[in-house]
Chain A
């Protein structure tokens, strides 16, 4: 047994027929007003169907376009990553490391071989030559060295004639 609302909705949608239609229309208190309302409802339905149908189509295309683009981007980036990752294989990494190490060792050997340990550093004061008068100080000896802490170059003269304390005067 259909309620009045169900029959009303079916009537608006032209879904009633035969005896059911006749009975329902007879039960309407103001048939003219009901017909006017039915026309308005049908117009509104047509309008909504037209508008919503167009929007739904537009959204669908938009989302579909977005999805296609995203899939395309992800596929492309996966392809690029795949290309890079294939070049740096473990084997190539090992060979690259070994080659770098070999270059470093060769450079280190050359640098160390060029450095003469007996040569005075250019960052320190160098003593080119030193002499004492053998007539004045016949037993004098001269040596030189550098202190690493504060880069002091020292000329060490031993055997100079000792002098009395008076010579310390200013």
Chain B
């Protein structure tokens, strides 16, 4: 009888912890990244380490520097936030949570001017990279990653 009670309690605890982990809040990192070719490239930021090779292959630059970023922990999936640099701002508006991630509306502003708008389903395991405008000899990239 005691063993049975212990088994039931353990099962219940496991089930609760599993449900809890499913609903655990997650953090979305959004960054404005300047990609450039320089003679002595700085180390890539930690947030981009996972996709470093892809970034280098796709865009052909050897240095990626974060000029603006935001790290937002989503609890309801309805939050909005801003990642901004001196001239650019990425406004992210979360519009709900799906089984695999979040539905987001993204707007890239250059000062007050809207350059780009998009809607996306950001997957927890799949980063999003957006090629922005050419800036000097480099390229502005927007990166979103669920951490």
Binding site for B on A (CB under 8 A): 122-133, 136-137, 146-147, 149-158, 160-170
Contacts and interface: CB of A to CB of B under 8 A. Distances in A.
The 5 closest A-B pairs by CB, nearest first: A165-B136, A130-B118, A160-B133, A128-B119, A162-B134
Contact of B129 (A126, A128, A152): A152
Contacts of A156: 131
A153 B131 contact: no
B126 A152 contact: yes
A157 B126 contact: no
* Tier of interface size on chain B: 35 or more
Nearest to A155: B130
Interface string B113-147: 11111111111011111111111111010000000
B34 interface: yes
18 contacts: A124-B126, A127-B120, A129-B118, A129-B119, A130-B119, A131-B116, A132-B115, A147-B58, A154-B130, A155-B118, A155-B128, A157-B130, A162-B134, A163-B134, A164-B135, A165-B135, A167-B136, A170-B85
B6 interface: no
B82 to A, nearest CB: 15
Given A151-B125, A153-B126, A160-B132, A132 B51 contact: no
Given A128-B121, A167-B136, A168-B136, A155 B131 contact: yes
B64 interface: no
A147 B34 CA distance: 21
Given A152-B127, A170-B68, A157 B122 contact: no
Contacts of A123: 100, 123, 125-126
Contacts of B136: 163-168
Contacts of B67: 168-170
B101 interface: yes
